[in-house]
A = this chain, B = another copy of it.
Amino acid sequence: MDHNSDTTEATWLASAGLRPTRQRLALAHLLIGDGQHRHVTAESLYEASRDSDEQVSLATVYNTLRVFSDAGLLREITVNGARSYFDTNVTNHPHFFWEDTEELMDAPDEDLKIAQLPKAPAGTEIAKVDVVIRLRRK
């Protein structure tokens, strides 16, 4: 990773008040290094790190994904009882989930229009709204 992108990742961490450790910078680079939004699982990110020049242990990948999403840098998406997915796009937006390959991707945001949403019951507020469109191969 060159110096410029290194700054980008450090800024990303700093914006959430997180220390720029070697491991966090490496994972941040894999997550936002190219400016594209990305959906990862702990396992997929771990493998990406194994293939890179900065290895991170699996436990740290798990811990870091948790820290990042608690800090609001990532959004956790629950589509599958088993695995957790994390999205670098933290805004409310719909997802496609392929049931056969268990792949998660963004659905075109502008194509979902929710005209009316149930109001939150008294004493509560809406933390987020997850819309998952499950796809089956025809």
Contacts and interface: CB of A to CB of B under 8 A. Distances in A.
Interface of A: 76, 78-84, 94, 96, 98-99, 107-108, 111-121, 123-138
Complex copy number for this chain: 2
B129 A133 contact: yes
The 5 closest A-B pairs by CB, nearest first: A111-B118, A113-B115, A113-B116, A124-B135, A127-B136
Contact of A119 (B83, B111, B121): B111
A130 B127 contact: no
B136 A124 contact: yes
Contacts of A84: 81
Given A118-B107, A118-B108, A134 B138 contact: no
A94 to B, nearest CB: 6
Contact of A133 (B115, B118, B138): B118
Contact of A131 (B116, B123, B131): B131
Contact of A123 (B78, B115, B137): B137
Contacts of A117: 111-112, 133
B108 A124 contact: no
